[in-house]
């Protein structure tokens, strides 16, 4: 049976501009691969993030075209051809899973997709003014989140310490787990001193305190740190098993954070998990501002890992023009309300 594939661009609009240490996001471009044959179809999302994804390249669209033109060569062939395009790899994995599934949005059937279980997630606090960040924190706590992640590194450091102090005055570490994400904002020279100040607030972890590709400096930080360090951007662009192993052995972080759209989809994520667990390195999975189509697949995959640690999967409500789906955030968890229908129209 002849299979054909098409690719489609879609621009997601943020409900409100969302601040990171790399700037303010107002829109998010994404791409969909749709495969079809004999009346059946499957959909996958290629969750690229301009300025951060390793495959943010001028030839991205040409690579999508090549991939769709050669769809009948199969998944294994195309994954190998897209080794340097991790967002296309996950789009392909999703599209083929979706095509072969009974329900094209139920890629990994489980108690989660049957609405019999949920996934604990962290509440994400975007950067902004002190008042804006305080309001977000209050909203997340009132919404039942037990784990909150703050993006730091864009406003004055002492102001950020003040925000953390304010949370800890009200909520102990056993009440609310606090994670911070510096997105590489600290310099290697000042990072350890800042980590010491942050550790006063009994944080769960800090993501990527310094910019990636500084292995020696990061390894020293991981050895001397008073609070656990999680590698995030550091994993982007590391394609081979050997290089992944070399990175983990050289840096020896306390955690790694896995964004399937950035690190080779589900296959790539499985490789990182296997290597991390061999070295007793903790991990969790995070979405990367995909639409609900990508978030849905990543959440279903994550549930099968049966980890109790809060995951970073709460991004579905950020956009005004997301596709309506069964995914719902409630009491600090992601739930799959399978009585709600999908509305996926490009």
Catalytic choice (259, 305, 330, 337): 259
Catalytic residue status for 65: no
CA distance 322 to 68: 24
CA distance 125 to 37: 43
The neighbour count for residue 50, using CB atoms within 10 Å, is 11
188 touches 217 (CB < 8 A): yes
300 touches 107 (CB < 8 A): yes
CA Rg, the chain, in Å?
20
Catalytic residue status for 330: no
Pairing of strands 177-181, 205-207: parallel
Catalytic choice (97, 104, 151, 194): 151
Q: Which residues have CB under 8 Å from 194's CB, separation 6+?
A: 157, 186, 209
189 touches 159 (CB < 8 A): no
194 touches 186 (CB < 8 A): yes
First to last CA, the chain: 26
CA distance 114 to 255: 30
Q: In what order do the strands lie in the sheet with 327-330?
A: 119-120, 333-336, 327-330
**124: which strand partners?**
149
User: Three-class SS of residue 208?
Assistant: coil
**Taking the alpha carbons of 281, 282, 288, 293 in that order, is the dihedral positive or negative?**
positive
**Contacts within 8 Å (CB) and 24+ apart, 56-60:** 60/85
Measure the CA angle with vertex 322, ends 107 and 261; round to 5°: 50
Active site members? 151, 259
């Amino acid at each position: 049976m002849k299979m054909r594939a098409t690719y489609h661009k879609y621009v997601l609009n943020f409900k409100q501009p969302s601040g990171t240490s790399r700037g303010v996001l107002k829109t998010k471009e994404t791409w969909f691969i749709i495969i079809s044959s004999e009346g059946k179809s499957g959909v996958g999302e290629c969750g690229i993030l301009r300025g951060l994804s390793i495959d943010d390249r001028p030839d991205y669209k040409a690579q999508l075209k090549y991939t769709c033109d050669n769809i009948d060569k199969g998944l294994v062939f195309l994954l190998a051809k897209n080794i340097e395009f991790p967002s296309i790899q996950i789009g392909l994995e999703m599209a083929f899973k979706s095509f072969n599934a009974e329900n094209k949005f139920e890629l990994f059937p489980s108690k989660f997709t049957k609405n019999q279980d949920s996934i604990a997630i962290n509440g994400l606090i975007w950067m902004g003014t002190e008042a804006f960040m305080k309001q977000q924190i209050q909203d997340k706590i009132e919404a039942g989140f037990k784990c909150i992640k703050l993006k730091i590194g864009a406003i004055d450091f002492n102001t950020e310490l003040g925000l953390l102090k304010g949370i800890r005055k009200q909520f102990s570490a056993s009440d609310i787990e606090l994670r911070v994400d510096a997105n590489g904002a600290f310099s290697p020279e000042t990072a350890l001193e800042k980590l010491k100040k942050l550790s006063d607030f009994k944080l769960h972890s800090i993501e990527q305190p310094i910019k990636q590709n500084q292995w020696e400096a990061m390894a020293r930080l991981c050895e001397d740190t008073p609070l656990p360090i999680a590698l995030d951007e550091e994993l982007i662009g590391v394609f081979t098993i050997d290089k992944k192993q070399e990175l983990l052995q050289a840096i020896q972080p306390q955690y790694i954070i896995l964004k399937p759209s950035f690190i080779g989809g589900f296959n790539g994520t499985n490789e990182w998990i296997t290597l991390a667990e061999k070295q007793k390195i903790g991990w969790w999975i995070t979405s990367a501002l995909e639409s609900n189509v990508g978030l849905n697949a990543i959440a279903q995959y994550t549930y099968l890992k049966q980890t109790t640690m809060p995951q970073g999967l709460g991004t579905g409500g950020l956009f005004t023009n997301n596709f309506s789906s069964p995914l719902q955030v409630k009491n600090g968890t992601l739930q799959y309300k399978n009585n709600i229908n999908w509305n996926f129209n490009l």
